[in-house]
Amino acid sequence: MANILQNLVNALQWGSFYALIALGYSMVYSILMLFNFAHGDIFMVGAYIGFGVATGLVALTSMGAIVLPNWLILVLTIIISMFLTSFVGMLVERIGYRPLRDAPRASAAITGLMIGIILETGNLALLGAQRVSFPPLINSVTYELGGVYITNKKIMIVFVSIGFMIALQLFVTRSKWGMAMRAMAYDYVVVPLMGVSINNIARMTFAIGSALAAVAGILFGIAYPVLDPYMGILFGWKAFVAAILGGRGSIMGATLAGFLLGFIEIFVAMIFPSTLRDLIAYSIVLLILVFRPHGFFGEPYSAKLRL
Amino acid sequence: MMLSVENLTVSYDKIKALHGLNFQIDEGEIITIIGANGAGKSTTLKAISRLVPVGKETRMTYMGKDMLSYPPDKVVSQLGISHVPEGRRLFGNLTVMENLKLATFARKDTAGIKRDLERVFSIFTRLKERSTQKAGTLSGGEQQMLAIGRAFMSARKMMLLDEPSMGLAPLLMLDVFDALREINREGTTILLVEQNARLALQFAQRGYVLETGNLVLEGTSEELLNNPEVKKAYLGG
């Protein structure tokens, strides 16, 4: 029993990463009918930017230039990295996707793959093949509850992730920008007739998705402090699976599917050798998709793509 | 002159849909363009809204401004031209209220928005009753009301209407046109395109006849209603 609960806690943390990244895929897919395959690499870029910002702040503190407690360094790292990574996302949208908006969908999809490769190899060229270590901003404290071990890091990661997901949900359902996003997901050709610039909404969506990927990157760096330029590939693919499994444009769906993937992976690994983890886990996911091809939730949309 | 269109050409995949239209609209007028299905009526409206690219030779000026330098969202928010598209194209996943509010996205005049919203609800009382309902659940007539209400909320100087009579029962159709006349009386210039030529000419002051991408006739509604060719081709003899 304790073992199951222990894995449940681990799965929550693992699923948080998938869910945060899946939201970015899901939003872009729903408003632009576009698979942003570079998004996994945006997660990687976010983790590296977080690494850079955190390392810088730690260095400044140790030099005595500024006096900051570690928790404040973490908060600042998250905020600054979200901001910087959102610019990377907006740049990707402007250079890679906007010129191709009316191009065949396949062209836009391979654009994402190419941008991904450019981000990975660009990072390699910039920082070299050596892995980097995320500075330890949190002194790990382990609590024991009836045989289940929970670290303060895990609690923080899960709560911060869920906090951002709730914030996003509120933004999309309550704000006028969120309303424009939902309208665009339904029928984007008519949106300009409402006096709304499609380009601005697309840019904003990339910015938000990228900022959330940066949060995932930093939280990942705190839990598993070794970063490498290719860390975003497999993670990105899996988060993409979660986005589709959740249902088109559904924030709730992407979140739940992200956590579900985390649970499936962790529980498969609990029973089977870990080398079989993804083989079995993704066979299960495939089976789910066969029975629910539209995913769990999903917004309706108008099939008309021309006015 | 409010809107002046010169030599309007539009091509889809190198096939010309409009072959150089010339027309003008004065402030406060109700103008109609009638024509058969496929004549290019919707394309004409889309060209004014800047939703389709126009040919190099085209000139469009609106209140003395070169329209071609405005992207589609600015045509609405800065020039004040709204567009009720063919088939209504409501956001079915948003509520009635959200559809109306989204149309005010670029507006900053909170008091004006509130006043206009009340005006829409007083013209189309049914919409008020259904304001929290998803637009996708409305009946055809209610959807048309919402489409017009949404355009009214977005911009008021000029309204482009694409087949507002389509799919409406005759009585509802009259209601909708009464509402449009009221909107016009309050100062909105209207450009209407319709397949239902009789209805359109009874409603408008002037009209143009569009045939396969060319304007072939123009005149006051009365002239067109009495024109033998128009009678034969569009008014059922």
Task: Please choose, from the candidates B190, B25, B191, B155, the residue with its C-alpha nearest in 3D space to the C-alpha of residue B78.
Answer: B155
Average pLDDT of chain A is: 91
* pLDDT band at A296; cut points 50, 70, 90: confident
Percent of chain A past pLDDT 90, that is, above it, reads 73
Task: Please choose, from the candidates B140, B185, B141, B130, the residue with its C-alpha nearest in 3D space to the C-alpha of residue B159.
Answer: B185
pLDDT for B171 equals: 86
Secondary structure of residue B11 in the 3-state scheme: strand
What Cα–Cα distance (Å) separates residue A150 from each residue in A1, A155, A216, A223, B92?
15, 7, 19, 13, 45
Give the number of domains in chain A. 1
State whether the Cα torsion A15-A21-A22-A27 is positive or negative. Answer: positive
Residues of chain B with pLDDT under 70: 237
What Cα–Cα distance (Å) separates residue A56 from each residue in A77, A135, A208, A237?
10, 10, 24, 31
Q: List pLDDT tens digits, range A31-71.
A: 888 889 999 999 999 999 999 999 999 999 989 888 889 89
For chain B positions 119-178, those within 8 Å of chain A (CB to CB) are: 136, 150-151, 154-155
Note the pTM of the prediction, 2 decimals: 0.92
Which CB contacts under 8 angstroms, 24+ apart, belong to B170-176? Answer: B172/B141, B172/B144, B173/B199, B175/B141, B176/B141, B176/B144, B176/B145, B176/B148
- Provide the shortest C-alpha distance from residue A65 to chain B (in Å): 45
What Cα–Cα distance (Å) separates residue A53 from each residue in A122, A214, B130, B182?
19, 12, 51, 60
8 Å CB contact between A242 and A263: no
- Provide the shortest C-alpha distance from residue A36 to chain B (in Å): 24
- In a domain, residue A307? The reply is no
* pLDDT band at A247; cut points 50, 70, 90: confident
pLDDT for A302 equals: 57
Q: Which domain holds residue A194?
A: 2-291
CB B93 to CB A304 under 8 A? no
Could you count the other beta carbons within 10 Å of the beta carbon of residue B220?
A: 13
- In a domain, residue A297? The reply is no
Q: Output the six-digit token pair for B77.
A: 């928010």
8 Å CB contact between B79 and B63: yes
8 Å CB contact between A15 and A258: yes
pLDDT for B237 equals: 66
Could you count the other beta carbons within 10 Å of the beta carbon of residue A6?
A: 16
d(CA B102, CA A194): 7
pLDDT score of A307 more than 80: no
pLDDT score of A287 more than 60: yes
- CA of A186: which chain B residue's CA is closest? B91
Q: List pLDDT tens digits, range A263-280.
A: 999 999 999 998 999 999
Entry field: residues in chain B? 237
pLDDT score of A305 more than 80: no
- CA of B76: which chain A residue's CA is closest? A195
pLDDT for A304 equals: 52
d(CA A292, CA A295): 5
Which residues of A make CB contacts under 8 Å with B? 176, 179-180, 182-183, 185-187, 189-190, 192-198, 299-302, 304, 307
* pLDDT band at A299; cut points 50, 70, 90: low
pLDDT for B170 equals: 87
User: The sheet that has B158-162: what strands, in order across it?
Assistant: B81-84, B158-162, B189-194, B30-35, B206-211, B214-220
ipTM metric: 0.93
d(CA A243, CA A91): 22
8 Å CB contact between A305 and B89: no
Report the pLDDT averaged over residues A5-13: 93
Could you count the other beta carbons within 10 Å of the beta carbon of residue A164?
A: 22
- Provide the shortest C-alpha distance from residue B49 to chain A (in Å): 8
8 Å CB contact between A39 and A15: no
- Provide the shortest C-alpha distance from residue A174 to chain B (in Å): 10
- In a domain, residue A304? The reply is no
pLDDT for B211 equals: 95
User: Which amino acid, B151?
Assistant: A
Tell me if chain A has a CB within 8 Å of the CB of B12: no
Residue tagged 């869920």 (tokens)? A162
pLDDT score of A21 more than 80: yes
Entry field: residues in chain A? 307
Mutate to test the interface with B, among A181, A191, A194 (most CBs of B within 10 A): A194
| CATH assignment at residue A97 | 1.10.3470
Please enumerate in sequence order all residues whose Cβ is within 8 A of that of A269, keeping only pairs 6 or more positions apart, or say none.
A277
Return the beta strands (E) in chain B as ranges: 3-12, 15-25, 30-35, 59-62, 65-66, 81-84, 158-162, 189-194, 206-211, 214-220
Does 3.40.50.300 match the CATH number of domain B3-234? Answer: yes
Q: Output the six-digit token pair for B213.
A: 């991408």
- In a domain, residue A299? The reply is no
Domain spans in chain B, listed from the N-terminal domain onward = 3-234
* pLDDT band at A300; cut points 50, 70, 90: low
Cβ contacts of A189 on chain B, cutoff 8 Å: 51, 89
Q: Output the six-digit token pair for A255.
A: 């979140």
Tell me if chain A has a CB within 8 Å of the CB of B85: yes
- Provide the shortest C-alpha distance from residue B213 to chain A (in Å): 18
DSSP 8-state code for residue B236: -
- Provide the shortest C-alpha distance from residue A156 to chain B (in Å): 35
Q: Output the six-digit token pair for A95.
A: 């250079």
Helix axes A39-62, A70-92, angle to 10 degrees: 140
* pLDDT band at A303; cut points 50, 70, 90: low
- CA of A199: which chain B residue's CA is closest? B73
* pLDDT band at A249; cut points 50, 70, 90: confident
Mutate to test the interface with A, among B93, B116, B146, B158 (most CBs of A within 10 A): B93
d(CA A171, CA A201): 13
Please enumerate in sequence order all residues whose Cβ is within 8 A of that of A55, keeping only pairs 6 or more positions apart, or say none.
A135
* Four-point Cα dihedral B145, B148, B151, B153, nearest 10: -50
Transcribe chain A into DSSP letters.
Answer: -HHHHHHHHHHHHHHHHHHHHHHHHHHHHHHHS---TTHHHHHHHHHHHHHHHHHHHHHHHHTTSS---HHHHHHHHHHHHHHHHHHHHHHHIIIIIGGGTTS-HHHHHHHHHHHHHHHHHHHHHHH-SS-EE----S---EEEETTEEEEHHHHHHHHHHHHHHHHHHHHHHHSHHHHHHHHHHHHGGGGGGGT--HHHHHHHHHHHHHHHHHHHHHHHHHHS-EE-TTHHHHHHHHHHHHHHHH-TT-HHHHHHHHHHHHHHHHHHHHHS-GGGHHHHHHHHHHHHHHH-TT-S-----------
Beta bridge partners of B11: B16
pLDDT for A27 equals: 93
Tell me if chain A has a CB within 8 Å of the CB of B77: yes
- In a domain, residue A300? The reply is no
pLDDT for A193 equals: 97
